[in-house]
Amino acid sequence: MELQIIESIEQMREISSRWSFSADVALVPTMGALHEGHLSLVREASRIASTVVVSIFVNPLQFGPAEDFDKYPRDLHRDASLLASAGAKIVFPPRADEITPPTMELSIDPGRMGRVLCGEYRPGHFAGVATIVSKLFNIVQPGCAIFGWKDAQQFLILRKMVQDFNIPVELKALDTIREHDGLAMSSRNSYLSDKQRQAATSIHRGLQEVSAAFKNGNSKSDTLIEIFKRTISAEPSLKLQYISVVSMDSLEPLDMVVPGNTLVALAVYAGETRLIDNIRL
């Protein structure tokens, strides 16, 4: 079957009412400007479900006033052709005035989980994400939805949202896809100058050093954080915004790594571009 592009909510609802949260339908929510990271999610979706819907929506609610909403890359034509080859059946690029009409009042409050880590520096961001993803779940009615560990805090908040609100969608997260030199793929990497792009490789290097130190028996969060900071401070063009060692269930800070349940998450500025990355220990 050829890739269908469905723009209107009404038309999407008409189709999804036929499958109503069937496990055989997988949704991959994205903001477009697709790269190999997104496509890995789509391929996995098409492995586990016979219908794969990919939403493309640059969500205004998740951008702060000083952030890059206007310059965020958009290319539906290119995205659609990549999605057709990756096995998607439907692309859903809803119009902003339909998904977030001026009459909309309510939003989902992700609570404390939305105020820590990236949430401390991007107030309202995770409320914007949770609100739009819950709307996408209601409209597309998939049985499962696939996300990337690249945005670990987003995934953990959405996993809590489906638990807390009894939403019948099973969530799955896949490992971060990286460039050959370790930089996590991101639509925002296109903003980087050559020099910044080169410097940004030390983010993954720093995380690998953290991982190696942990494997060598170092479990103290403070020590691991210092190890990362040392790597990053060797790059004058990078500025660390935060690094935290937290529990994957609650996102509460941990003094010591709890093996199998620990996230080391960080954000770094390369010039004006904010990059995030993480590892699980």
Tell me: does residue 153 bind ligand AMP (CB under 6 A): no
Instruction: Choose the binding region for ligand AMP from 37-45, 131-139, 201-209, 253-261 (rule: CB under 6 A).
Output: 37-45
Q: Supply φ then ψ for residue 19, to 5 degrees.
A: -110, -20
Instruction: Choose the binding region for ligand AMP from 8-16, 86-94, 181-189, 196-204 (rule: CB under 6 A).
Output: 181-189
Which residues are bridge partners to 91 per DSSP?
A: 5, 54
**Annotation says 204 is catalytic:** no
Tell me: does residue 169 bind ligand AMP (CB under 6 A): no
Tell me: does residue 41 bind ligand AMP (CB under 6 A): yes
Considering the complex, what minimum distance in angstroms separates the CB of residue 124 from ligand AMP? 16
Tell me: does residue 244 bind ligand AMP (CB under 6 A): no
Nearer to ligand AMP, 71 or 216 (CB): 71
Tell me: does residue 273 bind ligand AMP (CB under 6 A): no
Nearer to ligand AMP, 51 or 187 (CB): 187
161, 134 contact by CB (below 8 A): yes
Instruction: Choose the binding region for ligand AMP from 79-87, 177-185, 206-214, 260-268 (rule: CB under 6 A).
Output: 177-185
What is d(CA 126, CA 115) in angstroms, rounded to the nearest whole number?
8
What is d(CA 118, CA 114) in angstroms, rounded to the nearest whole number?
8
Nearer to ligand AMP, 141 or 154 (CB): 154
Tell me: does residue 196 bind ligand AMP (CB under 6 A): no
Tell me: does residue 94 bind ligand AMP (CB under 6 A): no
* Residue 75, Ramachandran bin (φ over 0: left; ψ between -120 and 50: alpha; else beta): beta
Considering the complex, what minimum distance in angstroms separates the CB of residue 221 from ligand AMP? 24
Give CB contacts under 8 A, 24+ apart, made by 160-169: 160/110, 160/113, 161/108, 161/110, 161/130, 161/133, 161/134, 162/137, 165/134, 167/134, 167/137, 168/21, 168/143, 169/21, 169/27, 169/137, 169/142, 169/143, 169/144, 169/145
Nearer to ligand AMP, 162 or 174 (CB): 174
Site for ligand AMP in 109-148 (CB under 6 A): 147-148
Tell me: does residue 184 bind ligand AMP (CB under 6 A): yes
Pairing of strands 238-247, 262-270: antiparallel
Size of the residue set binding ligand AMP (CB under 6 A)? 17
Supply the residues annotated as catalytic: 38
Which residues form the interface with ligand AMP (CB under 6 A)? Answer: 30-31, 37-38, 40-41, 147-148, 150-151, 174, 176-177, 184-187
